[in-house]
Structure 1
Amino acid sequence: MKRDLSFRWYFPHSPAAVWACLTEQEAIAEWLMKNDFKPVVGHKFNFHTKPIPKMDFDGIVYGEVLEVRPQQRLVYSWKGGPGPGVITLDTVLTWTLVAKEGGTELRLEHSGFKGFKNYLSSLFMGAGWNGRIRKRLESLLNEKAHVTT
């Protein structure tokens, strides 16, 4: 059993503004999770959130930046498990930005959910990505646009 997630969102903001929210540590912490992210290929980083023991998740997402094309594409691994060194979720997250008239289309591909337990994780994560996380990203973009105008 394998499942991939795919979403397309439109934001009335420039690719540069969207890119900043996807790549700056402080911005990522506001809409996603605390982190030590850097948009540099090969950089290993962690996202930190509340553990979910019932889902065998210790609250740390282990990632490595795989591809960076400024304002166009960002790819990184997204791994997690019940504790350090024990990985039960091994996926890849791809952000693609496409300039559209008056804004940016943001595509999110989260791929590689394998097995029944990770299939269940994908259901929860998909709802989060397309729900509260998208809304928090949109809110941050609107807030930043308001500050700069």
Structure 2
Amino acid sequence: MGKDVSLDFEFKSAIEQVWVALTDSNTLAKWMLFQENDFKPIVGHNFQFRTEPNQWWDGIVHCEVLEVDEPHRLSYTWVSGGENTTVTWILKQVDDGTTHVHLDQTGFKEEQAFSGALYGWQSMANHLEKVLTD
């Protein structure tokens, strides 16, 4: 059975600000490890995250938006390198103005892809925190 990435983050930002960071194409490009994307928060929209290719990977993640429940839930497919997974973001506003963010990426078959995703999301969350505080 495959492994799933499951991570929790706390950001000292309003839920609406975090939602924009997850759904605005220009803001996504500031914190994700991908320089380009054509994301739109519309169910059924096909999009790509793109970065420089290397000898092991073409640098493209193919995606489709599955669910948009602004500002609480966002889900999309993530197809890359032979892996077909689903990314789901769940946001909850905490009383002190902090936003709790839960991330799941499910459906990994390969340990290397799982490990890379786990590392990548943790790294990108640090960049997201910086974008939210700028």
Letter in 1 for 2:89: W
Structure 2 SS opposite 1:113:
coil
TM (norm. structure 2) is: 0.94
- How far apart in 1 are the matches of 2:79 and 2:52? 15
Q: Equivalent residue for 1:37? A: 39
Relative to 1, partners in 2 of residues 1:31 and 1:111: Cα closer, same or farther, differing over 3 Å? same
- How far apart in 2 are the matches of 1:46 and 1:120? 21
Match among 93, 99, 104 for residue 104 of structure 1: 99
Letter in 1 for 2:117: M
Deviation at 1:49, TM superposition (A): 1.2
TM (norm. structure 1) is: 0.84
Q: Deviations over 1:33-85 (max 9, x none)?
A: 2100000000000000122433xx2100000000000010000000013xxxx
Gaps in structure 2 of 5+ consecutive residues: none
Q: Equivalent residue for 2:131? A: 140
- How far apart in 1 are the matches of 2:86 and 2:98? 26
Structure 2 SS opposite 1:74:
strand
Aligned length: 131
Letter in 2 for 1:51: P
Q: Equivalent residue for 1:93? A: 87
Alignment of 1:103-122 (within 5 A): 103-114=98-109, 118-122=110-114
Highest CA radius of gyration, 1 or 2?
1
- How far apart in 2 are the matches of 1:77 and 1:141? 25
Structure 2 SS opposite 1:140:
helix
Identity of aligned residues (%): 39
Alignment of 1:29-68 (within 5 A): 29-32=29-32, 33=34, 34-54=36-56, 57-68=57-68
Letter in 1 for 2:51: T
Aligned CA RMSD, in angstroms, stands at 1.0
Runs (4 or more) in structure 1 with deviation over 4 Å come to: none
- How far apart in 1 are the matches of 2:131 and 2:63? 23
Alignment of 1:74-93 (within 5 A): 74-81=74-81, 88-93=82-87
Gaps in structure 1 of 5+ consecutive residues: 82-87, 144-149
